[in-house]
Amino acid sequence: MTTQEIANQLVEWCRKGEYDKCYSELYDQECWSIEPKGAWTEEAKGMEEIAAKGKKWQENIKEMHESWVGEPVVNGNHFAVPMSIEATYADGSRNKTEEMCVYEVKNGKIIKEQFFY
């Protein structure tokens, strides 16, 4: 798959909430995931750590109110996608998070994701 095809597929599945499908079909097994400094998990390496991070994130969400996934912008072997969610979390707080998600592709798979929010 090209970077554009991967970006389009990721956006389609994220809009449907099919995050597991993204990870199983589009990501390299040795992918690296980076969150901003001070985030509850700043980085995860490999699909096992990324899956654990995703599970922890989903368990922290008590109620999802709104989510939005924008169009991907592709440049070479990178692409960026704006996303936002508004949710009530396990501690009772309600928050809207707007982020830019940046991905790197190599050999037809996502090898790195980095989130800015």
**pLDDT-derived band at 41, boundaries 50, 70, 90:** confident
Percent of the chain at pLDDT > 70 equals 100
Span 3-116 CATH architecture: Roll (3.10)
Does residue 40 have a pLDDT over 80?
no
Enclosing H/E stretch for 10: helix 3-15
Quick one: the chain helix, strand, coil %, rounded to 5?
Answer: 30, 50, 20
Whether 110 and 6 have beta carbons less than 8 Å apart is answered as yes
Largest CA distance in the chain: 42
Q: What does the pLDDT look like over 56-72, one tens digit per residue? A: 888 999 999 999 999 99
Give pLDDT, residue 1: 94
